[in-house]
Amino acid sequence: MGSGKTTIGKILAKKLGYGFIDLDDMIERKYKIDVSGIFRKYDEKSFRKIEHDSLLSTFLSSDTVIATGGGTPCFFDNMELMNKNGTTVYIEMGILSLFQRISASRRPRPLVEGKSPDELKRYIQVHLKKRLPYYSQALITIKGEDFNPGALIEKIKNLKTLNL
C-alpha cells in the first residue's frame, strides 16, 4: 500500500508497449462497488477471495503489467502463482516514505481508515514485517523512492534471458 504500484505499473506498461491492469480497479468495475465498500459491506476474507479469483483471470492476459494490491501476494498461493505466470516486482519502500504517501493519498485505504498518525506508522511497520516474507519472493526487487524505469526494464529483460 502506497508504494506506487499503479503509477510504476502504468509507466512500465507504456515503455514496454504492454497493456495495464490495476487489480483493484478491475474488481471495482466488475462488482460495481469500490474496494472500501467491499470491506465495509462484507469483510476482508470476502475481498481476498474476490481478489484471488480476479488475479487468476489476469493470467489469461499476455504482454500486460498487472498492479496488485499490497496484500495480494500474502493470501492463498497468490505469490507462487504470480511467479509461475509472470515476472513479479517488489517495490521496496521505507516505513517513513510509505507513511508520507499513504497520509497524502486521496484514494480510500480500507485497512487504515480512521487511524491516527501514530497508529498508521505502527500499522505500516507491523504489516510490512508480516508481508516481507511474501514480498521477498518476488523475482525482482526495486527501490520505490528512486524508481528508474529503464533499470527495471533491463532487470526484466535480463531475467527473461536467463529463463530462456
Domains parsed from the chain with CATH numbers: 5-149 (3.40.50.300)
Q: What pLDDT, on the 0 to 100 scale, is given for residue 32?
A: 96
Cα–Cα distance measured from residue 33 to residue 14, given in angstroms and rounded to the nearest whole number: 28
Digitized pLDDT (tens) for each residue of the chain, 164 residues in all: 889 999 999 999 999 999 999 999 999 999 999 998 998 899 889 999 999 999 999 999 999 999 999 999 999 999 999 999 999 999 999 999 999 999 988 776 777 888 899 999 999 999 999 999 999 999 999 999 888 888 999 998 888 777 65
Closest CA to 28 of 85, 110, 100, 87: 110
* Residue 29: burial class (beta carbons within 10 Å; 0-12, 13-18, 19+): exposed
56 three-class SS? helix
Phi, psi of 65 (to 5 degrees): -95, 130
Question: Are the beta carbons of 51 and 27 closer than 8 angstroms?
Answer: yes
Residue 115: count other Cβ atoms within 10 Å of its Cβ. Answer: 16
Q: Using only C-alpha atoms, what is the Rg of the chain?
A: 16
Phi, psi (rounded to 5 degrees) for 107: -80, 130
Matching residue, cell 504489516: 127
pTM of the model: 0.88
Q: Which residues pair with 65 in a beta bridge?
A: 20
